[in-house]
Structure 1
């Protein structure tokens, strides 16, 4: 069983700004799917120049989302990997106005990406065979039970979470999504 990564509550405006850039999101996704990379390999994969990528890599490093791999880095070639963290979005009520706006901005540009993943699943699920799984559910939970359910889900992610370089033979990167929301706007009286 994998060690559970440390929980990181994303309430710091600096961290939210670091995540709020679409190229940084693409960098993190690339590292998550393909594993460690240099600015040169990221440049080829993402179609950006190495200077631009180096700047964004430093921003991600400064805010604790990636780290250099010293044992692989030589001379000017620096290797980067994503830091394994249990990233949590805080509730809007816990944030100051600036952080709330940054979180709204991140959510805004992530919506289309999430919708495209859903479209791709429903369009191509038969082609993916055993790799495509889906579940939908409805239950009745109080706030404490929902917290318990969420923590159990996060523990399950930790149990099966692996970086590309630590994956089992035959493993493929798999997108996982989870969200909850009330089924009705107002709780019953």
Structure 2
């Protein structure tokens, strides 16, 4: 059963496994689908089923995904699901270990590149969405002056709000309320910078 908590990644092997660009795309696609087969995911990422199966097994080897119950009568299909609500990496777990810092940075870059590509695709396809969806989309930038503690608190509050909306939407969808629902990406970055 998928854990309702985020999986906190603290080891080098798991960081390297999830940092691979295709594995991150597969993990994200599986998170959205909730359960899927290698062939379903291969269609989404436009890769060979054998390659996708290999990378899914690597994610499973590190406990990031797990086998799911097979909802069909075809016993040949292997179904997968995320093993947790998501993943997280914390700076304090990387301190004093340069190899962990490097792997964490690689993961951050992979995730950011894929987020940018996802937003770029929305911008390119924006006019294919209804006016309602175009008006509902959000793009903003805030530049407050905060302390590290305030930024941490802000991040926790935003995480709580987003989780509430996600859990509410998942429950509604599980109850059959699928009308008008689309996959929505919400990307937040909060970090110090110097002008």
Q: TM-score range by the shorter chain?
A: 0.7 to 0.9
Q: TM-score, normalised by structure 1?
A: 0.78
- Residue aligning to 2:163: 158
- Residue aligning to 2:43: 44
1:56-97 CA-partner distances (Å, limit 9, x unpaired): 111212222222112426522111122343422222752512
- Higher strand fraction (1 or 2): 2
How many residues are treated as equivalent by the alignment?
A: 182
**Is the partner of 2:75 in helix, strand or coil?**
coil
- Residue aligning to 2:142: 137
- Residue aligning to 1:98: 99
**Is the partner of 1:6 in helix, strand or coil?**
strand
**Is the partner of 2:114 in helix, strand or coil?**
helix
Cα distance in 1 for residues equivalent to 2:111 and 2:160:
24
Q: TM-score, normalised by structure 2?
A: 0.76
Gaps of 5+ in 2: none
**Is the partner of 2:7 in helix, strand or coil?**
strand
Cα distance in 1 for residues equivalent to 2:86 and 2:160:
10
Cα distance in 2 for residues equivalent to 1:119 and 1:43:
22
* Partner residue of 1:180 out of 182, 187, 190: 190
Cα distance in 2 for residues equivalent to 1:17 and 1:34:
23
The alignment's C-alpha RMSD in Å is 2.9
**Is the partner of 1:103 in helix, strand or coil?**
helix
- Residue aligning to 1:65: 64
1:102-149 CA-partner distances (Å, limit 9, x unpaired): 122223344433333444455555654234112221222222221111
- Residue aligning to 1:34: 33
Gaps of 5+ in 1: none
Task: Please report how far the alpha carbon of residue 53 of structure 1 lies from its aligned counterpart in structure 2 after TM superposition.
Answer: 1.8
Contact kept? 2:8, 2:87, Cα under 8 Å: yes
- Residue aligning to 2:89: 89
Task: Please report how far the alpha carbon of residue 182 of structure 1 lies from its aligned counterpart in structure 2 after TM superposition.
Answer: 1.9
Q: CA distance change for structure 1 residues 163 and 99 in 2, over 3 Å: closer, same or farther?
A: farther
Contact kept? 1:32, 1:163, Cα under 8 Å: no
